[in-house]
């Protein structure tokens, strides 16, 4: 069956950047991209990062199904995300309603309002394809999906973005597992600072 085609044009309204109920979750690759773009050190990365802890013990089976794998910190298991300011506004949204890190914005910001799922097709051998959908939040408030002049989203470009996103999430999961294991076996201390140092060392080949 052919993939459904979507129309979209971002109106730069900033609603997705001001949604108090959505955390801009970050993968290791997102953190490295922002740190490289702004030339941030450990303290500066910590100043824009949120550690979103679970309010209760979440079963391992549920954690394994989560899109972005949590990491262990001194306060328990947490998602990494961008810090939010007053009213839930993203720390990188400026007064002109513009993203201050647009070229290195996280993947979740690039893919919104769409979602991507890797689908395995078994016909005549294993084949992977990327299925595109609209995120629930996109349906709720993104005017770009109904904008006049919205053009058809390129299937080729969206597939490329979808594959990259899925690969980054897989890389993030492997990295988070490695970090969590180091902490659980006492080889690393579960501190936010230690984690960021570990992430920044990743690109030098020292992290993993």
Q: Could you give the C-alpha distances from 93 to 51, 131, 172, 199, 207, in angstroms and in order?
A: 19, 30, 25, 24, 30
The answer to whether residue 92 forms part of the interface with ligand SF4 (CB under 6 A) is: yes
CA atoms of 102 and 111, how far apart (whole Å): 13
C-alpha 200/C-alpha 32 separation (Å) is 7
Under the binding rule (CB under 6 A), the answer on residue 134 touching ligand SF4 is: no
Please give the torsion angle defined by the CA atoms of residues 95, 97, 99 and 100, in that order, rounded to the nearest 10 degrees: -20
Among 3, 5, 7, 10, binds ligand SF4 (CB under 6 A): 10
Report how far residue 25's alpha carbon sits from residue 41's, in angstroms, rounded to the nearest whole number: 20
Kindly compute the dihedral angle of the four CA atoms of residues 66, 69, 71, 77, in this order, to the nearest 10 degrees. 0
In terms of CB distance, is 140 or 177 closer to ligand SF4? Answer: 140
Question: Which of the ranges 62-70, 142-150, 169-177, 189-197 carries the binding residues for ligand SF4, by CB under 6 A?
Answer: 142-150
CA–CA separation, 206 and 208 (whole Å): 6
109 binds ligand SF4 (CB under 6 A): yes
Q: Which stretch binds ligand SF4 (CB under 6 A): 103-111, 114-122, 127-135, 149-157?
A: 103-111
Judged by CB under 6 A, the stretch of 99-107, 123-131, 166-174, 182-190 that binds ligand SF4 is 99-107
Instruction: Please pick, from the candidates 33, 72, 80, 90, the single residue that binds ligand SF4 as defined by CB under 6 A.
Output: 90
Q: Which of 70, 81, 144, 162 binds ligand SF4 (CB under 6 A)?
A: 144
Residue 142 interacts with ligand SF4 (CB under 6 A)? Answer: yes
Segment interacting with ligand SF4 (CB under 6 A) among 55-63, 122-130, 136-144, 177-185: 136-144
Q: In angstroms, what is the minimal distance from the CB of 137 to ligand SF4?
A: 8
Residues making contact with ligand SF4 (CB under 6 A): 10-17, 24, 82, 90, 92-93, 99, 101, 105-106, 109, 112-113, 142-144
């Amino acid at each position: 069956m052919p993939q459904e085609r979507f129309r979209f044009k971002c109106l730069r309204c900033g609603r997705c950047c001001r949604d108090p109920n959505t955390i801009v979750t970050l993968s290791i690759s997102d953190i490295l991209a922002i740190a490289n773009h702004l030339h941030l050190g450990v303290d500066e990365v910590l100043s824009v990062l949120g550690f979103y802890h679970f309010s209760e013990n979440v079963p391992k089976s549920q954690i394994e199904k989560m899109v972005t794998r949590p990491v262990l910190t001194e306060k328990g298991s947490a998602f990494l995300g961008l810090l939010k300011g007053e009213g839930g506004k993203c720390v990188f949204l400026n007064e002109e309603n513009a993203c201050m890190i647009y070229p290195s914005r996280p993947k979740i910001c690039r893919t919104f309002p769409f979602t991507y799922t890797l689908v395995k097709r078994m016909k005549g051998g294993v084949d992977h394809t990327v299925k595109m959908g609209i995120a629930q939040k996109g349906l709720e408030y993104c005017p770009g999906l109904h904008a006049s002049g919205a053009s058809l989203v390129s299937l080729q470009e969206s597939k490329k973005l979808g594959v990259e996103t899925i690969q980054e999430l897989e890389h993030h999961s492997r990295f988070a597992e490695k970090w969590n294991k180091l902490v659980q076996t006492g080889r690393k201390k579960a501190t936010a600072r230690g984690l960021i140092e570990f992430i920044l060392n990743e690109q030098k080949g020292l992290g993993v």
